[in-house]
Copies of this chain bind each other. A is one copy, B any other.
Amino acid sequence: MGPYLRDLAQFVAIPSVSAQPRHAPDVRAAAHWLTARLRGAGLTATTVRTGGHPVVLATWHGAPQAPTVLIYGHYDVQPPGPARRWSTPPFTPVRRGDRLHARGASDDKGQLLCHVAALRALLRRHGRLPVNVTCLFEGEEEIASPSLPALLDRYAPHLAADVLLVSDTAMPAPGRPAIVRSLRGSATLDLRVTGPATNLHSGTYGGAVHNPAQALCTLIAGLHDPSGRVRVPGFYAGVRPLTATTRDDSLRRRAGVPALWGLPDATPHDRTTIWPALSVHGLRAGYTGPGTSSIIPHAALARLGIRVAPGQNPAAIARAVTRHLRAETPETVRTTITTTSTAAPILVPTTTPGLATAAAACREVFGTPPVFTRSGGTIPALGMLREVLGLDPVLLGFALPGDNPHGPDESVHLPTCRLGVATIAAFLRHLGHAAPLRGQALAASGHPPRLLIGERAP
């Protein structure tokens, strides 16, 4: 773990929060740090400017007969949220037992560095890689990759590959490797309700003016029926009738909630993976500082996030929600609804190149075959990579349920990272021996072609 841990501690100390403009220099610094590390590992690497945060591109193309692997990852991180919710500062890496704690330790810096470490180890030991490798590490994953389409247009010829490998997903438990077969897409919306021209005195106007914060609450409350089903017409359009699962991964315990909640007649695991969901990411209105300010706020804001199920069209779902909110807006206030991002859901075909090789690498390193899982998360770049490069991803991730990405006290399990480095190295090695790759079916490797069972392959 020596160099890996040293690298990770340096990497997570850079507060590369892509969402916050004041952190733009930190995002750039993280890109330059990563470019330097890739060069140190023996690749040709460069920091590429975009309209937003930079992309790091790195290549080692010294095996003309071997297939080419495109490795995607991201070096930006979520905002840390309130400092007081963290046991130790979010950008001060702290090791506690088997874990390193910091924002981004799991999502995705720790996993991204598994690739860098594997590439470095292979190049040190053999002076070459068993396959050609292109790395595409972006700095805008957490803000839905707005600059990636333009970059892909520009660099598509340089990014052509046989296999797309991504480590930005989780395993169900330590020692249980997993390959993710589906991801949800997403759409984010800002809902702004405005009423009076300015904040009003709640004594003078209270009772005769519709409070925008209250009207916002009514609109948000009206998005779900009491059973937990979304009331928006068309919200469930296109959902794929995938096999139901009973797995729950102790969701209730891990979330720390008194009881689970959600769509009736669906298991908790299905609710978070093959059904869409609508979340409130944030609310802001009026005065919530110390003491009281007795006002009717002139405006109220909600940040809404929709997770779109495999088979659904995120833009269409965002339009359906927008239409519904507009229709429900009373004449006493005004609403402005803005779609701030969309990202496609992913269903990984059983014939995806590299899928069987990844399963074999897991078996070799973990001593057990991978489970094929569904994830409720979103990787916005994947839809774009499929569209531009025609590649479906091999989602071989090493996060764990306890990592708490996006929340406070995010951490990564270092022994699992060590196995991750070894698994990636094994994957690249196996891939160097296997040919031809294209069209190789998962079924041919002894894994069943059943989609998304969410259970261990026999």
CB distance from A415 to the nearest CB of B (A): 22
Complex contact A283–B283 (CB within 8 A): yes
CB distance from A342 to the nearest CB of B (A): 12
User: A34-42, A113-121, A194-202, A416-424: which lies at the B interface?
Assistant: A194-202
Residue A383 is within 8 A (CB to CB) of chain B in the complex? no
Return the chain B residue nearest A22 by Cβ: B290
Question: A275 contacts which chain B residues (CB < 8 A)?
Answer: 207
Question: A195 contacts which chain B residues (CB < 8 A)?
Answer: 255, 257
- How far is B283's CA from A378's CA once the two chains are assembled, in angstroms? 28
Partner of A255, one of B200, B272, B376: B200
Return the chain B residue nearest A292 by Cβ: B188
Complex contact B294–A197 (CB within 8 A): no
Complex contact B19–A289 (CB within 8 A): yes
CB distance from A379 to the nearest CB of B (A): 9
- How far is B206's CA from A184's CA once the two chains are assembled, in angstroms? 11
- How far is B286's CA from A79's CA once the two chains are assembled, in angstroms? 11
CB distance from A16 to the nearest CB of B (A): 13
Question: A305 contacts which chain B residues (CB < 8 A)?
Answer: 202, 206, 292, 294
Over the window 21-52 of chain A, the binary record of Cβ atoms lying under 8 Å from chain B Cβ atoms (1 yes, 0 no) is 10000000000000000000000000000000
Complex contact B217–A221 (CB within 8 A): yes
Partner of A203, one of B214, B289, B378: B378
Residue A432 is within 8 A (CB to CB) of chain B in the complex? no
Partner of A271, one of B207, B251, B289, B290: B207
> Known: A291-B19, A292-B188, A376-B207. Contact between A283 and B406, CB under 8 A?
no
Partner of A204, one of B18, B272, B296, B333: B272
Return the chain B residue nearest A201 by Cβ: B406
Over the window 239-266 of chain A, the binary record of Cβ atoms lying under 8 Å from chain B Cβ atoms (1 yes, 0 no) is 0000000000001000111111111000
Return the chain B residue nearest A143 by Cβ: B291
In A270-286, the 8 Å CB interface with B consists of 271-272, 275-286
> Known: A204-B377, A294-B305, A377-B201. Contact between A279 and B214, CB under 8 A?
yes
Residue A144 is within 8 A (CB to CB) of chain B in the complex? yes
CB distance from A389 to the nearest CB of B (A): 24
- How far is B90's CA from A293's CA once the two chains are assembled, in angstroms? 15
Complex contact A332–B260 (CB within 8 A): yes
CB distance from A447 to the nearest CB of B (A): 25
In A182-218, the 8 Å CB interface with B consists of 184, 186, 188, 195-211, 213-214, 216-218
Residue A297 is within 8 A (CB to CB) of chain B in the complex? yes
Q: Which 3 A-B pairs have the closest CB atoms?
A: A19-B291, A197-B256, A207-B277
What are 17 A-B pairs at a CB distance below 8 A? Answer: A78-B293, A188-B294, A196-B257, A197-B255, A204-B272, A206-B376, A207-B276, A209-B262, A211-B280, A214-B221, A214-B279, A217-B302, A257-B332, A261-B330, A279-B294, A282-B288, A298-B407
Excluding A196-B257, A202-B281, A294-B378, 7 further A-B contacts by CB distance (< 8 Å) are A142-B291, A142-B294, A199-B406, A203-B375, A210-B262, A282-B288, A287-B303
